[in-house]
């Protein structure tokens, strides 16, 4: 949702923020021998406005594109490892707008009861921690890629491998360890270490931490921590954007709707949610005025005039308007991967990606024409749903699209493997596979 705000105003919603212009500034004038404060609207230069909106749109498209293709890698890894994925069911999708509404109103109540300073302190620590982890998770596969960074010195550094294990012994394991440690073995560190290793592999323990890493991982984490400290101390818009892009890529990669129907339900629900909380109440505005966080991408429109560190008139794009449609577009890309054996094209991903670009451009144009805040999902949801669904209707692919599942349920997997029995004229049962 896009909204015009004062300099002290931050993004409208912690979940669904949109492109926003801060276009008011205060100037002091002396009138008739007395001090008077006059509010002068900030008018962005054309070049500054184009620069800021271009950055926001390109950043959003980068997050959607990278996150979508990384979701395919994650899905394939889960299938190979047998990991049970966390997917969004139709019930979850239907309940999400109500849960988000309750969460938003809960924050509103807390703001009314708790001092703003305490809220800001807690949020700063929280986003520092998850920001460092999200940034590390976004950078680590790229910087350790042998295709992009196949350098000799990096390969040498990667050879320094480390393994850290932290677990809590059970009572049975402690007793067994004491039983196996006879007096001659006690004090012998080598024997004690070997005994502990054998016992930990044969007796169930409560595993808490098991990490394998090398020096490259350490270097990446150190850089991410430096960015986190920079954001925590300065709250600079570049650090904000670094964390925001990392959050978006990770969220699109991880959030799996599983079915196209689930995505349609969630997008439709958040479409109503966004409009209601923007125009129906003042809850979002109150929440927005109370704290700031890297839940939006921002870019100064006065960068050319005031420079990198003094610019403060920002255009904004909320992460909700990147992650939610981005996860749906990623689902369509994964569906396209199942069709590539037939035609080798990513048709629905391309169509929905173009629809998302058009929706963002329309949002900016409406904002500039009416000079009033607009919920971006008002344009993103219809276009991102209509374009791919209409294409599937024309291609006679609507039924297979809605039948597709990222991760089939256990019951469906079992039923697919159960044989069916047919009886011949001689009365002999003939088991056949259901898929034959």
- Per DSSP, what are the bridge partners of residue 314? 300
307-310 long-range Cβ contacts below 8 angstroms, 24+ apart: 309/236
Q: What is the DSSP letter of 427?
A: S
The one catalytic residue in 274, 292, 302, 406 is: 274
CA distance 318 to 298: 9
Contact 238, 306 (CB under 8 A): no
Question: Is 212 an annotated catalytic residue?
Answer: no
**Cβ atoms of residues 12 and 1 within 8 Å:** yes
Q: How far are the Cα atoms of 91, 129, 326, 375, 381 from residue 269, in angstroms, in the given order?
A: 12, 30, 16, 14, 10
Which listed residue (217, 292, 302, 321) is catalytic? Answer: 321
Say how far apart CA 315 and CA 331 lie, in whole Å. 29
Interatomic CA distance for residues 272 and 97, integer angstroms: 8
205 has catalytic annotation? no
Determine the Cα–Cα distance for residues 362 and 377; give it in Å rounded to an integer.
Answer: 11
**Which of 206, 240, 258 has its CA nearest to residue 84?**
258
Q: How far apart are the first and last CA of the chain?
A: 51
User: Position of tokens 């709250």?
Assistant: 235
Determine contact, residues 18/376, Cβ cutoff 8 Å: yes
Cα–Cα dist 40/99, whole Å: 40
Which residues are catalytically annotated?
Answer: 274, 321
């Amino acid at each position: 949702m896009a909204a015009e705000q004062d300099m002290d105003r931050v993004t409208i919603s912690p979940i669904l923020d949109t492109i926003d212009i801060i276009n008011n500034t205060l100037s002091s004038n002396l009138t008739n021998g007395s001090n008077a404060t006059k509010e002068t609207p900030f008018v962005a230069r054309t070049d500054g406005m184009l620069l800021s909106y271009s950055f926001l749109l390109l950043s959003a498209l980068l997050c959607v594109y990278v996150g979508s293709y990384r979701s395919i890698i994650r899905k394939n890894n889960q299938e190979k490892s047998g990991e049970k994925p966390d997917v969004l069911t139709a019930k979850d999708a239907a309940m999400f707008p109500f849960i988000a509404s309750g969460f938003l109103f809960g924050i509103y109540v807390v703001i009314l009861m708790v001092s703003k300073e305490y809220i800001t302190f807690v949020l700063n620590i929280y986003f520092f921690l998850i920001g460092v982890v999200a940034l590390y998770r976004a950078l680590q596969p790229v910087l350790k890629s042998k295709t992009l960074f196949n350098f000799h010195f990096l390969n040498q550094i990667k050879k320094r491998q480390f393994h850290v294990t932290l677990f809590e012994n059970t009572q049975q394991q402690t007793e067994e360890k004491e039983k196996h440690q006879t007096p001659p073995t006690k004090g012998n560190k080598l024997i004690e270490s070997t005994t502990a290793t054998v016992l930990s592999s044969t007796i169930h323990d409560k595993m808490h931490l098991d990490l394998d890493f090398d020096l490259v991982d350490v270097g990446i984490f150190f850089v991410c921590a430096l960015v986190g400290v920079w954001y925590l101390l300065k709250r600079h818009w570049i650090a904000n954007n670094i964390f925001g892009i990392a959050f978006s890529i990770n969220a699109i990669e991880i959030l799996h709707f599983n079915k196209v129907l689930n995505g349609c339900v969630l997008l439709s629900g958040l479409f109503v949610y966004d409009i209601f909380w923007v125009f129906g109440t003042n809850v979002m505005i109150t929440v927005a005025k109370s704290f700031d966080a890297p839940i939006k991408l921002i870019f100064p429109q006065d960068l050319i005039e005031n420079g990198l560190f003094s610019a403060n008139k920002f255009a904004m794009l909320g992460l909700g308007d990147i992650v939610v449609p981005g996860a749906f577009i990623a689902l369509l890309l994964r569906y396209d991967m199942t069709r590539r054996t037939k035609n080798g094209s990513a048709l629905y991903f391309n169509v929905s990606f173009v629809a998302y670009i058009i929706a963002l451009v329309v949002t900016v144009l409406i904002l500039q024409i009416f000079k009033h805040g607009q919920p971006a999902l008002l344009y993103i949801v219809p276009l991102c749903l209509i374009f791919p669904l209409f294409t599937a209707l024309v291609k006679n692919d609507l039924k297979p699209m809605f039948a597709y599942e990222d991760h089939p349920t256990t019951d469906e997997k079992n039923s697919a493997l159960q044989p069916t029995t047919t009886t011949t004229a001689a009365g002999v049962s003939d088991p056949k596979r259901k898929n034959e």
